[in-house]
Structure 1
Amino acid sequence: MKLFCLLTFFFTLTTQAQFQINGIVNDGNNKPLPFATISTSNKQHTITDVDGKFILDIAPGASTFSISYIGFETKTVNLNSNKKYYTVALVQKTDNLQEVVIANESPVSIIIRKVIANKNKNNPQTKLKSFEYKTYNKLIVTASPDSIDGRIDTSAVYKDLKKKRTNIDSSDYKFKEIITKQHLFQTEKISQYQFNNRKLKETILGTKMAGFKLPVYEIIAFNLQSISIYDSKYELLETKYESPISNSALKDYNYKILDTVAIKGRSTYMIYFKKKKSTGLEGVLYIDPESFAVAKAVMRIKGVLDISGIHEFEYVPEEKVWFQSNTTFKIVKGKNDEDIKILGGTIQFDADAEEYNESRKKAASDFTYLLSASNNYDIHYNTNPDIKNPALYIEIKEDAHKKPEAFWNDNRTETLDLKGQKTYQLLDSISVKKRVEKRLGFGRKIINGYIPIGPVDLDLKKVISFNNYEGFRLGLGGITNDRFSKNFRIESYTAYGTKDGVLKYSVGTGFLLDKNTNTWINGSFTDDVREIASTVFAVDKRVFKIYDPRPINISTFYEYISWKTNLQTKIIPKTEAVLELSRNYIEPKFDYLYYLHGRLYSNYVMTTAMLSIVWAPFSDFMQTPTGRNEADKRFPRFTLQYTQSLPDVLQNDFTFSKIDFKTEYEKKFLNGQRTSLLLQGGYALGDIPLTHLYNTAPNNLTKETLIQRITFSGRNSFETMYFNEFFSSEYVFFQVKHGFERIKLFRKVRPSLVLVSRMAWGDMKNPEQHVGPIYKTLTKGYFESGIELNKIYKGFGLSGFYRYGPNQLLKFEDNLSVKISYILDLGI
């Protein structure tokens, strides 16, 4: 920000023909009138929002604007170039003017019912067999200079009548200078949309992002609003809401006819809608009375953020369909008095003090907003386009970020103005000087637990850890990066336990077979230890933590010496899979023998084939020049892993099969709350030792008092279950969590409250084969519930859990567990 201020310090205001006005419309009793129609004398139009507020850019030649609202007299207001804010009170009509009537009773219900009944006839994705078009999209983060009070347009120093010197805060003045000259952020893209065989795919032909040579793909893939207005669930900012024209909408929404408005020369009914009970969408639908198609739609949700999406349509006579021509998405600050970050922390909104915190001075940055506008062109109907890789939601061409200016001049539907050009120039120069892209790349590596050092990424997870068997585990590890090679990698680590005094190590290599599907073939050798009876899914994403809390308490491990080769791929749509062959020498490091066919095994060889696959059917996937990524992670998602021993192969000792599965569901709410569900289970069949069965993730120490058992909490573990208390050859585990928005107790104390319940059932087949450990089974079930109070101070929190049900212990305090939690908030 300081650099921005320096660049614009000598700014001189330029007079522009176009200026902006804003204001509010009420009913004369200070009650706002939502969605009133505002028109200028030169035919510019807008509507008020649900609070009666409006913003309108006035073009040259306009001398007046008029406000109309059903049941009220239309009012015309003279424009004054020196006036930016207007409060307009309408007068209710004295005559008995009725609303538009198309039936004797419930006219609006009949209209909506017919809209719902005719959706398939009016939805282009069901009416048309195929279509294709191009879209020009521009997304900016900016503010209107005219919205900032003129009284702050100075950074001067003056003397008052008492001869006291007073310094005026110039931060708002500098902010206004910046946004008058440039936007805070800007990105453009040219896309081709193709629809055929009920599949819609976006191919990005060109993209530009201010400050970046290579675009940030996470921002490109961010789903701001639904493409179709006819979906049963309408999406705003990656949150889905029931549509006002879904099949059951009449039960959940209230509707009101506001006016009749001409759109593209055709008369439409202007209908206001709002969710009846719970928080939901509200807005306006413009309905064609002949076809009952949507001719325009305004969708809005107001809460922590004030979000709106507008869809505009053109009527196509030859196809008898309203086809979408433009979409607009806007975010401003809502009901909150704290900063909010969205788009991965890229965009920050300040507080709306005017409405929600009267004690706080309204700063210029409060007027910041995000605006994304898309214009469709080059539209063709029923062309039967050949869609390559239809399972992909977005595909970005290899040269999309290298397009020449001639490409943009040919495809922009509006000329990039001087302010937009300056945004690219200034942000690009600042990005180079500040090495923004390099820092972003470094930050991505840090978030994933690596520090790049030349051609090698140092693995932070390998540096230090602690458990009750190895003591402090000190090590060094890493993997080669793209500076070494994009098609070949080497990965290795070594570690030493201060308690067991043994050196562990691993070395592996991988070759890239196909970049588009992220297909790698890998091989490795490992000599290390692992927790007994733990479940590891090969396709699980790497999770980096400053510390891994649960292993601190584990004391029962087995040594494994492993040779393995695997194939990683995303070749199957909406999946990621690992096919692995391995030979493992296993030696338990605790008092245990496995009895089979009259022989006691203290160590053994296991040669196995394993297939692990995660399927995300509701997620959207994006093909980028660097590979295939999950652009929009959605739930539920399913993971299945099958392991089969290979008899008589490389001295394998046992014949067995294992099936492991899990399904995850997560619902995020706009107010910060979150509900998550986890269902996981496993089934082992055949001759399989305890080391490779199931312990259902216990995390409680076998100590005498509750105070002695206080330690760090795990992620999805049973906090009241003691280590090695239960083992199973088959089990099912269910967990439900609900996290509330953070509670502000003090300025720096804002804990996050999470309610948790866990339960599990299991059984042990052939318990006589396992000699040594004393344990119980889960045939009657295991239950615990508790409260997590996270992030009380600097990431630290507390949690408390209680054990109940058939496996409840006799002493009350033995069923209790108090844990310390730590969550590192990276602001992403």
Structure 2
Amino acid sequence: MASFKKSVALLLVLSWFTVSAFAQTIIKGTVREGGSKEPMPFVSVAIKGTTSGTTTDVNGNYEISTSEQVNKIQFTFLGFQTVTRTFVTGQSQVIDVVMQDDSKTLEEVVIKPKKEKYRNKNNPAVELIRQVIAHKKQNRIESYAYVHYQEYEKMQLAISNTPESLKKNILFKKYQFVLDNVDTTRFEGKALLPLYLEENITEKYFQRDPEKKKSVITATKRINFDDKFVNNESITKYMKHLYQDVDLYENNVYIITNSFLSPIADMAPAFYKFYITDTVSNDGIKLVELSFGPRNKNDFLFLGKMYITLDGNYGVQKADLGVSKDINLNWVTSLNLTLDYERSTDGRYHPSKTALLVNFGVFSGKKGIFGERVVTNRNFDIQTPIADTVFKGPELVRTDSSLSKTDRYWLENRPDSLSRVEEQAYKNMDSLNNMKSFKRIMSWATLVLAGYKDVGPAEIGPVSTFYSFNPVEGFRLRFGGRTTTALSKRFYTEAYGAYGFRDERWKFFLSGTYSINNKSIYTYPLNYFRASFQREVNIPGQELQFMQEDNFLLSFKRGVNDKYLYNDILKLEYVYEFGDHMSVRLQFKNLKQEAAGGLTFVHSDAILADTIKDMTTSEFGFEWRWAPHEQFFQRKLYRTPIPNPYPIITIRYNQGVKGFMGGQYNYQSISGNIYKRLYLSQLGFADLTAGAGYIFGSVPYPLLNIARANQTYAYQLQSYNLMNFLEFVTDKYVSFNADYHMYGFIFNRVPLLKKLKLREVAGFKLLYGGLRPSNRPENNPELLKFPVNEYGTTTTFSLDKQPYMELSVGVENILNLIRVDLIKRLSYIDHPNVSQYGIRARLNFDF
């Protein structure tokens, strides 16, 4: 027995010495060129006798560790002499290295007095990338006559390293089963708590001539939240907006709402540095390992490696990409993109798997949000022709059974199995959604974030309109709500009542909507008929995109703001969306307008200068809108479009009918506009909008085109921010707006501004048009006088010989959220109560 104890003691002592002997060795340092002393990126670093290896980053820095009993570290780079150094085992240490040219590896040696910096000329790496660029067309899927494959997609969001305060908080005690479901094995030093998970299986079809595409979603499984609180389709669209499909053969790659220049873009050699770092063989195909990084580490460019085939196709076989920490990217602490390509039957390579991983730095330290999208392509068929019937209808459709696939189906059709934590996430979230306490939390969160509070089959809101004020109504209170699908999927009602304490008048709104397709009237595609009546006050010429006029924040206005209209509006409308992002709207509107505040309706003729109480119009309208490939976030009140490179075209026609339901005027109007986002790669992007309109007939000024003015302190994208309300009216006009975002292209080169992550923005707005003689009050005694101020000075004008123009320059991304513009008014600065300069601000969340 004593002998056994001695043996055990001896074994413990030996184990302690063994553990001590194999203590961790950590080595870091910088690698530089011997001639220029510049940092060398993508140098291969390996600890001899082990599998530990890494490469230097864009600044030439590296860090590597091992617990093996070795003491040699080796640095290799094509065209340079290999360097081997000795290190001390079991310690942290710094080893800096200088690498010298190896003239023996060069076919020709040119003796020069000084080592030249990186250049494209006579650079074999650049010659190789030019071959890749030249062969892009033949290596793309679009080069085939027909393509059919199956795509599996997995998207997830998870909290990385859940804050301990959440776990210990008594408010989260009931939800401990969710907080305990973490994955600590996937990434070293990270514990991932899944919040959202979605899987899709889609059949993809492509035809080259004529070009047609079709995507059929055959299966979807995702964590669903209660539809009363969260629009699940919008979550999917937002995730896909952040993690868009990646095609390395495109000039630009869109990730996290930003445009990155592809390393094989046509102009890549002008922005990237390329290095040949190795040659390998895969399935008998010789590959070149091509490392690359940005010439300017502040630009939106990738750094990483690609493997290029030397089989005459010069295709990409694999790519590993990251980004420099110096780029002006909000909220993102790391980004990694891996693309794998598989050899087709014709010897070329097609995408087989794409994995995008992003860590969002929401919390302090290592805590944040982890996002991932993995796409796997299989059953790639380039031989079988595709029937024309496959491409009929919208480009994207979903089968009726896609949301009801069994667990067995998913087990058999996933290319990779889910982890235990991912599987449990589905179950946990189902349980969470059924908990009454969680539903209460979501209900109050919806009130705070979206402005609506659910009360059974109805919602009360929006709360931002419950209180406001203006010069006509004074203090104004409003209360309203609407029904939801919990009451009916066919019939919807909405109503509110409001009271102004200064004018002592009630305002109200009541509408009834019938959904023809038995879907929510807030869900695409729309197909409904609506009847409504509204008695309300408004400012002529104020048009808002994603906010209601009586929003509390819009109560604060600059300058004189006393010209209002009381409106009684009876409206009948039919809206139909075709499902391929084309829509029509048919409308009848009976409108009675009454002047309010400092506005009066007075005939222009001096003899007939009587005051008119109100005026009535009856109008039939038609609107056609086309937004190819459009996606949007469906919110409680509005849709927010997701920008894409395709134009959005809108055309409207209205016909006023005299004598019908009290209508006093015959007229016709036609108008249209086109919007397009123009991506400029490293120079940012520009939003461009052009419009035009024409009114046939003679009408008083409230029925003319009233220029879209803004007298608030907020910067409005589609309004003229230094124009007064009702300042300009036209019966014919053309307009042009440009909003240009440089994304820090200049500021990133200024040290202080770069640290603050500020971005440049500029804008230009133009409105040009005029009034025909028949619509000028001085020529037509039956028309109404243009409005005047308290001194009798006219404050409404037509555009004469020059256009109205504004120019703005500004800074955005202040504290990652705020945009501030300095605006200069370029014309008509002699008008009363106008400012030549102004400062406006806007909240703008962006990555």
TM range (shorter): 0.7 to 0.9
Structure 1 pair 127–825 and aligned structure 2 pair: CA distance change class (3 A): closer
Structure 1 pair 401–745 and aligned structure 2 pair: CA distance change class (3 A): farther
Question: For residue 170 of structure 1, what is the aligned residue in structure 2?
Answer: none
Question: For residue 666 of structure 2, what is the aligned residue in structure 1?
Answer: 655
**Paired residue type of 1:301:** V
Structure 1 pair 295–666 and aligned structure 2 pair: CA distance change class (3 A): same
| Equivalent residue runs for 1:22-61 within 5 Å | 26-27=30-31, 31=39, 33-34=41-42, 36=44, 50=58
Question: For residue 355 of structure 2, what is the aligned residue in structure 1?
Answer: 328
Normalised to the residue count of structure 1, the TM-score between the two structures is 0.72
Distance 2:60 2:293 in 1: 15
1:688 to 690, 699, 702: 699
Identical positions, percent: 18
8 A Cα contact 1:394 1:622, kept in partner: no
Question: For residue 776 of structure 1, what is the aligned residue in structure 2?
Answer: 797
Residue 121 of structure 2 is aligned to residue 111 of structure 1: no
C-alpha displacement at 1:293, in angstroms?
1.7
Residue 303 of structure 2 is aligned to residue 286 of structure 1: no
**Paired residue type of 1:294:** V
2:708 to 675, 685, 697: 697
Structure 1 pair 194–467 and aligned structure 2 pair: CA distance change class (3 A): same
8 A Cα contact 2:707 2:726, kept in partner: no
Structure 1 residues without counterparts, runs of 5 or longer:
1-19, 146-154, 156-173, 333-346, 352-362, 701-709
1:616-643, Cα deviation, whole Å (9 max, x unpaired): 336447999xx99966655653433222
C-alpha displacement at 1:348, in angstroms?
3.9
Distance 1:428 1:74 in 2: 57
Residue 592 of structure 2 is aligned to residue 592 of structure 1: no
C-alpha displacement at 1:39, in angstroms?
11
Residue 553 of structure 2 is aligned to residue 547 of structure 1: yes
C-alpha displacement at 1:194, in angstroms?
0.8
Question: For residue 372 of structure 1, what is the aligned residue in structure 2?
Answer: 373
* Secondary structure in structure 2 of the residue aligned to 1:465: strand
8 A Cα contact 1:798 1:818, kept in partner: no
Distance 1:519 1:453 in 2: 26
| Equivalent residue runs for 1:704-783 within 5 Å | 716-737=718-739, 757-765=764-772, 766=774, 767=776, 768-769=779-780, 770-773=783-786, 774=794, 775-779=796-800, 780-783=802-805
| Equivalent residue runs for 1:271-310 within 5 Å | 271-276=290-295, 279-282=299-302, 283-290=304-311, 291-302=313-324, 303=327, 304=329, 305=332, 306-310=334-338
Question: For residue 510 of structure 1, what is the aligned residue in structure 2?
Answer: 513
C-alpha displacement at 1:522, in angstroms?
1.0
Distance 2:63 2:681 in 1: 25
**Paired residue type of 1:547:** L
C-alpha displacement at 1:477, in angstroms?
2.1
Distance 2:436 2:679 in 1: 35
Distance 2:41 2:64 in 1: 17
1:299-352, Cα deviation, whole Å (9 max, x unpaired): 443323443322111112x223202111121234xxxxxxxxxxxxxx54456x
Question: For residue 564 of structure 1, what is the aligned residue in structure 2?
Answer: 571
C-alpha displacement at 1:475, in angstroms?
2.2
Distance 1:319 1:311 in 2: 20
8 A Cα contact 1:24 1:32, kept in partner: no
Distance 1:818 1:621 in 2: 32
**Paired residue type of 1:640:** I
* Secondary structure in structure 2 of the residue aligned to 1:121: helix
8 A Cα contact 2:446 2:453, kept in partner: no
C-alpha displacement at 1:415, in angstroms?
3.0
| Equivalent residue runs for 1:152-551 within 5 Å | 182-185=192-195, 187-197=197-207, 198-209=211-222, 212=225, 216-276=235-295, 279-282=299-302, 283-290=304-311, 291-302=313-324, 303=327, 304=329, 305=332, 306-316=334-344, 318-332=345-359, 347-350=360-363, 363-365=365-367, 369-385=370-386, 395=397, 400=402, 402-421=404-423, 439=441, 443=445, 447-460=449-462, 462-514=465-517, 515=519, 517-533=525-541, 545-549=551-555
**Paired residue type of 2:410:** W
8 A Cα contact 2:540 2:565, kept in partner: yes
Structure 1 pair 99–394 and aligned structure 2 pair: CA distance change class (3 A): farther
| Equivalent residue runs for 1:69-80 within 5 Å | 69-72=77-80
C-alpha displacement at 1:763, in angstroms?
0.9
8 A Cα contact 2:507 2:535, kept in partner: yes
Structure 1 pair 430–622 and aligned structure 2 pair: CA distance change class (3 A): closer
Distance 1:287 1:433 in 2: 53
Deviates more, 1:754-763 or 1:21-30: 21-30
Distance 1:391 1:649 in 2: 40
C-alpha displacement at 1:724, in angstroms?
3.9
2:586 to 579, 590, 600: 579
Structure 2 residues without counterparts, runs of 5 or longer:
1-23, 110-119, 163-167, 169-181, 787-793
* Secondary structure in structure 2 of the residue aligned to 1:815: coil
C-alpha displacement at 1:568, in angstroms?
1.8
* Secondary structure in structure 1 of the residue aligned to 2:106: coil
8 A Cα contact 2:25 2:90, kept in partner: no
* Secondary structure in structure 1 of the residue aligned to 2:409: helix
Distance 1:557 1:111 in 2: 67
Question: For residue 609 of structure 1, what is the aligned residue in structure 2?
Answer: 620
CA RMSD of aligned residues (A): 5.4
C-alpha displacement at 1:491, in angstroms?
1.3
Distance 1:410 1:557 in 2: 65
8 A Cα contact 1:264 1:314, kept in partner: no
C-alpha displacement at 1:685, in angstroms?
1.9
C-alpha displacement at 1:406, in angstroms?
1.7
Count of residues paired in the alignment: 735
Structure 1 pair 684–330 and aligned structure 2 pair: CA distance change class (3 A): same
8 A Cα contact 1:199 1:390, kept in partner: no
Structure 1 pair 267–699 and aligned structure 2 pair: CA distance change class (3 A): closer
